[in-house]
Amino acid sequence: MHADTVSQERKRIVIIGGVACGMKAACRLRRRDPLADITVIEKGAFLSYGACGFPFYICGMVPDYKNLMDTPIGAVRDEAFFKNVKGVTALTRTAATRIDRHAKTVEVVHLETGKKENLSYDKLVLATGAVPFVPPLEGRDLRGVFSLWTMTEARAVKEFLSNTMVSQAAIVGGGLIGLEMAEALSKLGIQVSVIEKLEHIVPALLDKEYALLLTRYLESKGINIYTSDAVRKFSGSDTKMLTSLITEREEIPAQLALLSIGVRPDVTLAREAGLEIGQTGALKVTPNLQTSDPDIYAGGDCVENVHRLTRKAVYAPMGSTANKHGRVIADCIAGDDETFPGVLGTAIFKVFDYSVGRTGLSEQEAVKLGHEVMCAIVPAPDKPHFYEGARPIIIKLIAEKATGKLLGAQMVGPGDVAKRLEIAVTSLSHGGTVEELSKLDLAYAPPFAPAMDNIVTAANVLRNKLYGKSRGCSPLEVKEKLDHGDDFIFLDVRSPQEYEQMRIDHPAVKLMPLGKVRSEGQSLPMNKEIIVSCKSSLRAYEAQLMLQAQGFTNVRFMDGGILAWPFELKTGS
């Protein structure tokens, strides 16, 4: 239900946190309630900035930090803007230090003067965000070692690069922001190394084969990737300047290091006030985003969300989610019964010419949750091959084997990933199946998409596998078989010219162009397993059907073909 009239009672609203969720809540609430007394407390010096734009500011794509605080018409969102345009009092450089739930007051300290005061509230909003995880490593205080979470830190990195000769930089942590910063620093002519403690980069988002595809691409752009390695300390000069990072395996020279290991919800104030903390370590909230105190709401990076597929609590900090939270909170305070349905873990980022996206569950997550899954990896151009500017995308779909219900999607490549990712998000949001996905009435014209869109093609490939019409195996499975020396035939059905240009170099590989499979297939041993490969797996699937028609019973194709092979390839003759 929605409130039809605005209450004439002058509510006192205090919001702690003035970036995404907090300022969205303040501005939405002002539109809903013109009489409310709204005060925002922000311990930093800046309000309502786009933190996701930091890498683009640091590399110079965004010329001024104030651009990250601008409205679309160029007005800077500072204290004066919120006071004059929104009617909201925003107190920067002010820290909330204590919540008295019984008296319904918040104790604040004005950091520049040290003055304390108590602010009364009818409703309180906690939008305290998150804090970066900074391990207590030796040398952490050296000049040149930074975190990158606030506008102040972003400006400090920018200033350091302007005033210091930096030829080598290291990113500690191979997550989303870390990889975006790797590109940003590389564009400044700096040699970049990324150190990730876990087995592969972007471990929270991507399955292994997709992370390896991305690793191979980044290395082709000159980025050094170190995985399964951890930083032990930072080394510096006599002048306390960073000179290198010491890892478990080696020493990496660097004059700049960015700590991008992850974040933790900032719940200190909430915990001290006795509010319930969830199993993820973030604040527990209701679907209305109320805390365990019905007069205190919370949103953004300090709260846990519900995953829309698993219905389990997850910690998934994201600026887009924080903004949605702010709107829900404001509407609830204004009297509506508004709810937030949860998240799918959707994320997208760009590094150099590659876009990388995921939504729903990864294969690894789905299996861990007990699902028996079927996957398809399908490369294809994002437009018809004859249309100028067509670029490839490699799509991975994950589905529940018994029902065909879509569980997740991952995508990588220089093509239009965002469009296909949003289609997958919509399907997942409504509990869609792979069959339903394959029949969506998507927009078609050569400038925008092939007649059978990439995601439709991927869904059809997965349907074939679900219905037993084809049998596939992942590149990881093939690599494991090659490394173990399994006795099988790895049949490449591309042309000799394609084979000479690029190929998997292994004795198990046998070249037999697709046009010869019908006439020469019988020359292959019937008693051996055959795994067929081509450029994208389309010809490999056709070869599988040909061989099965000739009586072969142990034939599969490799998902994604050469385009999805994340390991070393031999090029040239």
Using DSSP, state whether 108 is helix, strand or coil.
strand
Residue with tokens 């946190």: 17
Domains (ranges, CATH) in the chain?
Answer: 12-130+264-333 (3.50.50.60), 145-261 (3.50.50.60), 353-466 (3.30.390.30), 472-571 (3.40.250.10)
Q: Above 90 in pLDDT, residue 260?
A: yes
Number of H helices, E strands in the chain: 16, 32
Q: Above 80 in pLDDT, residue 22?
A: yes
Q: Which of 52, 302, 375, 473 is catalytic?
A: 52
> What mean pLDDT do residues 496-500 have?
97
pLDDT in tens, 148-185: 999 999 999 999 999 999 999 999 999 999 999 999 99
DSSP 8-state code for residue 66: G
pLDDT in tens, 309-364: 999 999 999 999 999 999 999 999 999 999 999 999 999 999 999 999 999 999 99
Q: Above 70 in pLDDT, residue 523?
A: yes
Q: Are strands 224-226 and 191-195 parallel, antiparallel or unpaired?
A: parallel
Q: How many CA atoms lie within 13 A of 266 on its CB side?
A: 16
pLDDT band at 572 (very low <50, low <70, confident <90, very high): confident
> Tokens for 422?
């949003």
Task: Sort residue 404 into left (φ over 0), alpha (ψ -120 to 50) or beta.
Answer: left
| DSSP track, 397-457 | EEEETTT-BEEEEEEEESS-HHHHHHHHHHHHHTT-BHHHHHT------TTT--SS-HHHH
Cβ atoms of 509 and 499 within 8 Å: the answer is: no
21 tagged catalytic: no
> What mean pLDDT do residues 208-221 have?
97
* pLDDT given at position 5: 44
The rounded distance, in Å, linking the Cα atoms of 155 and 33 is: 36
* pLDDT given at position 9: 72
Q: Considering the chain, what percentage of its residues have pLDDT values greater than 90? A: 97
pLDDT band at 7 (very low <50, low <70, confident <90, very high): very low
* pLDDT given at position 6: 45
pLDDT band at 86 (very low <50, low <70, confident <90, very high): very high
Q: Above 90 in pLDDT, residue 513?
A: yes
Q: Residue 12 belongs to what H/E stretch?
A: strand 12-16
> What mean pLDDT do residues 385-392 have?
95
DSSP 8-state code for residue 44: S
* pLDDT given at position 458: 98
> What residues contact residue 308 under an 8 Å CB cut-off, 6+ apart?
341, 342, 343, 344, 428, 429
Q: Above 60 in pLDDT, residue 26?
A: yes
* pLDDT given at position 1: 45
Q: Residue 225 belongs to what H/E stretch?
A: strand 224-226
* pLDDT given at position 8: 56
Residue (of 417, 350, 382) closest to 177 by Cα position: 350
pLDDT in tens, 284-297: 999 999 999 999 99
Using DSSP, state whether 13 is helix, strand or coil.
strand
pLDDT in tens, 425-451: 999 999 999 999 999 999 999 999 999
Mean per-residue pLDDT of the chain: 96
- Full-model pTM: 0.94
> What residues contact residue 483 under an 8 Å CB cut-off, 6+ apart?
none
Q: Are strands 105-110 and 12-16 parallel, antiparallel or unpaired?
A: unpaired
Residue with tokens 């305290």: 128
The rounded distance, in Å, linking the Cα atoms of 406 and 341 is: 18
The rounded distance, in Å, linking the Cα atoms of 225 and 240 is: 26
List the beta bridge partners of residue 192.
169
